[in-house]
Chains A and B, each alone.
Chain A
Amino acid sequence: MSPVILMEQVGKAYASGTATAVQALNAVDLRIDAGEWVAITGPSGSGKSTLMNLIGCLDRPSSGRYCCEGVDVGPLDADGRARLRRQRIGFVFQSFHLLPRLNALDNVILPLVYAGVPAAERRARAYAALEQVQLADRWQHLPQALSGGQQQRVAIARALVHRPALLLADEPTGALDRRTGADILGLFEALHQAGHTLVLITHDAEVAARAQRVIRIEDGRLT
Chain B
Amino acid sequence: MNPAHTPLHAGGQLHVLDLLQMAVFALRGNWLRSLLTALGVIIGIAAVIVMVAIGGGTRAELDRLITGLGANRIDIAPNLSRVGGAVQDLGSLFTLSSSDVEALREQIPEIAAISGVLQGRTTLVHGDANWTTSWYGVDADYFGISHATLAEGELWTPEAAAGALPEVVIGATVRHKLFAETEALGQTIRIGSTEYRVVGVLAPKGIGMGGNDLDDGIWVPLDTGRRRLLGRLGLPPQRLMNIVLGVARAEDLAYVEAEAARVLREQHRLLPGMADDFQVRNLTQIVSTRHQTTELMSVLLAVVAGVSLLVGGIGIMNIMLVSVTERTREIGLRLAIGATPRDIRRQFLAEAVVLSVGGGLLGIALGLALTELTLRLSELPIALGSHTVLLAAVVAVGTGLFFGYYPAHRAARLDPIEALRQ
Q: List chain A positions with a Cβ less than 8 A from chain B.
A: 1, 34-35, 53, 56, 58-59, 78-79, 82-83, 85-88, 90-91, 93, 97, 99, 101, 110-111, 113-117, 119, 158-159, 162-165, 194-197
Contact = CB atoms under 8 A, between A and B. Distances in A.
Contact of B420 (A93, A111, A194): A93
A88 B7 contact: yes
Contact of A97 (B2, B22, B333): B333
Interface string B334-345: 111111111100
Given A79-B342, A163-B4, A86 B417 contact: no
Contact of A115 (B2, B5, B9, B25): B9
Given A86-B338, A165-B7, A114 B1 contact: no
Contacts of A53: 417
A186 to B, nearest CB: 19
Given A79-B341, A82-B339, A111-B338, A117 B420 contact: no
A91 B7 contact: no
B341 A78 contact: yes
Contact of A114 (B2, B5, B6, B339): B339
Interface residues of B, number: 34
A116 B12 contact: yes
A82 B5 contact: no
Interface string B14-55: 110010001001000100000000000000000000000000
Interface string B218-247: 000000000000000000000000000000
A195 B1 CA distance: 9
Given A59-B417, A101-B25, A114 B7 contact: no
A194 B5 CA distance: 11
Contact of B4 (A1, A111, A114, A195): A195
A82 B338 contact: yes
Interface of B: 1-2, 4-10, 12-15, 18, 22, 25, 29, 329-330, 332-343, 416-417, 420
A159 B338 CA distance: 10
Given A34-B5, A53-B417, A114-B14, A78 B336 contact: no
A163 B335 contact: no
Nearest to A35: B2
A196 B338 contact: no
A86 B337 contact: yes
Contacts of A195: 2, 4-5
Contacts of B7: 87-88, 162-165
A18 B181 CA distance: 96
Contacts of B417: 53, 58-59
Contacts of B12: 114-117
B337 A111 contact: yes
Contacts of B337: 85-86, 90-91, 110-111, 114, 158-159
Contacts of A78: 340-341
Contacts of B22: 113
B8 A83 contact: no
A87 B342 contact: no
A127 to B, nearest CB: 16
B5 A165 contact: yes
Contacts of A93: 420
A91 B336 CA distance: 7
Contacts of B338: 82-83, 85-87, 111, 114-115, 162
A42 to B, nearest CB: 18
B18 A113 contact: yes
Given A58-B417, A163-B8, 12 more contacts: A58-B335, A79-B342, A86-B338, A87-B7, A90-B337, A97-B333, A99-B333, A111-B337, A113-B18, A114-B12, A162-B8, A163-B6
B10 A87 contact: yes
Nearest to B344: A82
Nearest to A117: B9
B29 A101 contact: yes
A83 B335 CA distance: 10
Nearest to A116: B12
Contacts of A165: 5, 7
A58 B416 contact: yes
B405 to A, nearest CB: 18
22 contacts: A34-B2, A34-B5, A35-B2, A56-B336, A82-B335, A82-B339, A82-B343, A87-B10, A91-B337, A97-B336, A110-B337, A114-B343, A115-B12, A115-B338, A159-B337, A162-B8, A163-B4, A163-B8, A164-B7, A165-B7, A196-B2, A197-B5
B4 A110 contact: no
Contact of B1 (A1, A116, A117, A119): A1
B4 A196 contact: yes
A156 to B, nearest CB: 12
Contacts of A35: 2
Nearest to A115: B12
A111 to B, nearest CB: 5
A113 B341 CA distance: 15
A168 to B, nearest CB: 10
Contacts of B2: 34-35, 194-196
Nearest to A132: B4
Nearest to A1: B1
Given A86-B338, A110-B334, A158-B337, A164 B14 contact: no
Nearest to A56: B336
Nearest to A90: B337
Given A58-B336, A85-B336, A116 B15 contact: yes
Contacts of B330: 99
Contacts of B340: 78-79, 82-83, 114
User: Which one of A56, A59, A115 has the greatest number of beta carbons of chain B within 10 Å?
Assistant: A115
Contacts of B4: 163, 194-196
Given A56-B336, A196-B4, A116 B341 contact: no
